Amino acid sequence: MALTYNSPISFSGKFILTFLAVLFICAGCVNRQTEMDGLEKDLVSHEYRLEVHFIDVGQGDAVLVLTPSKTMLIDAGPRDGNAAGYLQSVGVTEIDIVIATHPHADHIGGMPDIFRSFPVREIIDPGVMHSTLTYTRYLELIDKLDIPYTEGRKGMRIDLCTDVFAEIIHPSCPDEEFLNDASIVIVLVLGNLRVLLTGDIERKSEEILLDGNNDFVASLQSHIFKVPHHGSPTSSHVDFIEAVNPELSIIMCGLHNSYGNPHRLTLAALEAAGSDVLRTDLNGHIVIRTDGESYVVEVERDAPPLPSLININTASLEELQLIVHIGPERAKQIIRLRPFESADDLVRVDGIGPARLADIKRQNIVVTE
């Protein structure tokens, strides 16, 4: 079962998106043609010239970009995110460009599987070092497989096919001490459609991008917005969201992740901006298809309605399980142990110690009255 959103493209105002439930059977979410006469598979239908797949890899990022001419992968999620398996399921056999936005494991942990599963013609990353085994293995495989390498910098343009291009708008001078802010930020453009992909940038980089918002390509205003840093409160500040002015925002995060992402302040800022929100933890894989004049969004599954705050003294069994570290058994125990005077009182629940309580408080959705 998939939900399909249809929207024309415009910056003149927000659109009410129509939700149409449709059945489809495919090994993924893209239209494909079978091999004929020795020709390679066409991963993109003739109706759409650009597809952007936000892959559900758990707590991490992996974005697949398909055009009639080229395939690009931006990040590969964590080691256990199975990004390679998803690419295989939609018929990818080789990758023209791999971009690693920055060297954290939730973005490059899946790269070894990608490199071993597909020929890769070029890799681009910000060129900042990181002292982890994950990053060392990533570099060793690039060297072993002799993959051409480029440092990604502001102003670089990547032509993906006729009328479809990606432009890097950040960073100019990445700093190894601030790896999130070293993230490569990309604007995908086809016709009138713009997709902004932001890696894990935080406040510092958002301010840099706001200062550089001075021409069409560098402009932040975009129809589709990949929310930075998994919806963390370190990013997505109000002035930045207002500059992007997204119709649809996509948050990539893991269900019940220990970071409490997405933070309710981020969700509130997106709601105040009038943006619709989809999340990989709730909606699974999310696929955008566009001809540059309109776009369609397919999701793997519908998301349950989410309360902005959860009162642990009155919430249902299902609502309690939206709290990080709270599964069915702990939710039942919370109901038995009610009332609670504060979130700190959750230490009465089996398995909730100081570390997990800190995660719950960081999620910032628990109230008691």
Q: pLDDT exceeding 70 applies to what percent of the chain?
A: 85
For residue 50, which phi and psi values (nearest 5 degrees)? -145, 130
Average pLDDT of the residues of the chain: 85
Output the pLDDT for position 13. Answer: 37
Pull the structure tokens for residue 65: 């970009």
Digit-coded pLDDT (tens) for 41-73:
356 655 778 999 999 999 999 999 999 999 999
- CA 81 remoteness from chain centre: 13
User: Which of 26, 154, 11 has the alpha carbon at shortest distance from 91?
Assistant: 26
What is the bridge-based pairing of β-strands 2-8 and 18-22? Answer: antiparallel
Digit-coded pLDDT (tens) for 335-361:
999 999 999 999 999 999 999 998 888
Residue 95 has pLDDT above 70, yes or no: yes
Produce one character per residue of 21-53: b if its CB has 16 or more CB atoms within 10 Å, e if not: eeeeeeebbbbbeeeeeeeeebbbeeebbbbbb
DSSP structure string for 107-155: HHTTHHHHHHHS-BS-EEE------SHHHHHHHHHHHHTT--EEE--TT
Question: What does CATH list as the number for 310-367?
Answer: 1.10.150.320
Residue 146 vs residue 20, higher pLDDT = 146
Q: Where does the chain hold its CATH 3.60.15.10 domain(s)? A: 2-299
Q: Where does the chain hold its CATH 1.10.150.320 domain(s)? A: 310-367
Cis peptide before 339 (omega within 30 of 0): yes
Residue 12 has pLDDT above 90, yes or no: no
Strands (E), the chain: 2-8, 18-22, 50-54, 63-66, 71-74, 97-99, 123-125, 149-151, 157-161, 164-170, 185-190, 193-197, 224-226, 248-251, 276-279, 286-290, 294-299, 310-311, 366-367
User: Cα–Cα distance between 107 and 125 in angstroms, integer?
Assistant: 11
User: Cα–Cα distance between 270 and 263 in angstroms, integer?
Assistant: 11
Class of domain 2-299: alpha beta
Digit-coded pLDDT (tens) for 21-37:
332 323 333 332 222 22
CA-based torsion, 238, 242, 243, 248: positive or negative:
positive
Dihedral class, residue 357 (left if φ above 0, else alpha if ψ from -120 to 50, else beta) = alpha
What is the bridge-based pairing of β-strands 294-299 and 286-290? Answer: antiparallel
